[in-house]
Amino acid sequence: MNMPYLKIGTAVLLLFTLLLPFSSHAKADISLSVSARSAILIDGQSGRVLFGKDEHEKRRIASITKIMTAVLAIESGKMKDTVKVSKRAIQAEGSSIYLKEGQKVSLEDLTYGLMLRSGNDAAVAIAEHVGGSLEGFIFMMNQKAAELGMENTNFQNPHGLDDHKNHYSSAYDMAILTKYAMKHKQYQKIAGTTFYKAKTMEGYWKNKNKLLTGLYEYSTGGKTGYTKLAKRTLVSTAAKGDAQLIAVTINAPDDWKDHISMFEYAFDHYKTYMLAEKGRLASLKGTFYEKKAFIKRDVDYFLNEDEKKLVKIETEMLTPEKKWKKNAEAIPDVVGKMTILLDGQVIEQLPIFYENKRNRMPQKSFQEMFKSVFQTSIGGSSWSI
């Protein structure tokens, strides 16, 4: 049954705080010059696009393909498995970790070899083990891409070699994939490892990502790539303070400089603010929902100084029914929704809960209570029905 809503216009409270993930599609307006034919910079937590250049264009992507291969290896839950290397795997051209036919290597070692040394032989060995066959794994890659909304992507192999005409992605899609990959602690660890000594084979590998191995102090990982047709491709991540960023370039003659320039601009001009704080909603004081309505998580966002005044929060609540005063069990678990807008564009929506036996108001940790000391209000609040 549809129920009438009360609508509340509420000024936003801003806090300097730690980032927490949520979805967002409000594009920033950064003016940068990069060498890449396609490039993108996003906030690694919210997914907000901070800079883009032909970011939706379908292009060959070379070895940044291996990010998807690593993700599927990790999600398989088989990282401790022993993989028997096939003849097909050792026949893979290009960069290699020098596997031998019949050799037995852990999937974990193969994944490190895949990401640090860009082993094409490792990519095929991983694909055959995780997917049951190379073809089965490619199906898995495209299925995952569809799940993640990678609309301009089609995988034809697990390594990115130019052996298929229709193997492509876009800078935007690779940023989406990397944001997803970074949710996995094991992926973070592997992609951010500078040196690795293999446990089940001979191999002591240095990461090919020069940003990570010394060129950029805030680098946290990524994946390099190159083929004759794709040219230089690069995905990299960086963190400074509360900010976590993801950059992608495709066909970029000066990719290291491109990534540093994008990261530095964002770090210099943007900060993380809390737009909504988990727990009781102070804006509902004096209403039926006072002290009982709450949201379950903080909402944080990467903003520049000029954008703070463009943030608005709209809160819509179910109109209370008379029977609710006598029968609290009749009150729905979800009694409203909060919509957060930046310059009129929705950047987040989340449910508002009513406290009962099934839904308890979240308790703040000492660290979270400490953050509230820095809370800054930029306006009052008002009601409208």
| Binding region for substrate | 223
Structure tokens at 144: 């995952």
Alpha helices, H only, the chain:
66-75, 87-90, 107-116, 120-131, 134-147, 171-181, 185-191, 255-269, 366-371
> Which one, of 287, 322, 354, 303, lies nearest residue 26 by Cα?
303
Active site residue 46: no
Catalytic residue among 24, 86, 118, 236: 118
> Which one, of 267, 261, 252, lies nearest residue 60 by Cα?
252
Active site residue 33: no
Active site residue 118: yes
The number of C-alpha atoms within 13 Å of 58 and in the hemisphere containing its C-beta is: 10
> Which one, of 333, 350, 349, lies nearest residue 296 by Cα?
350
Catalytic residue among 24, 38, 46, 63: 63
Q: What are phi and psi of 267, to 5 degrees?
A: -65, -35
Q: What DSSP character marks residue 328?
A: G
> Which residues are part of a known binding site?
223
Structure tokens at 19: 């980032």
Q: Please check whether residue 39 is in contact with residue 262, taking contact to mean a CB–CB distance below 8 angstroms.
A: yes
Catalytic residue among 66, 144, 179, 278: 66
Q: What are phi and psi of 343, to 5 degrees?
A: 55, 40
Q: Please check whether residue 302 is in contact with residue 272, taking contact to mean a CB–CB distance below 8 angstroms.
A: yes
CA separation for the pair 163, 40 (Å, rounded): 26
Q: Please check whether residue 317 is in contact with residue 337, taking contact to mean a CB–CB distance below 8 angstroms.
A: no
Q: What are phi and psi of 273, to 5 degrees?
A: -120, 145
Q: Where does residue 379 fall: left (phi above 0), alpha (psi -120 to 50 degrees), or beta otherwise?
A: left
- Angle, helix 66-75 to helix 134-147, in steps of 10 degrees: 90
Amino acid letter, residue 107: L
Residue positions annotated with a catalytic role: 63, 66, 118
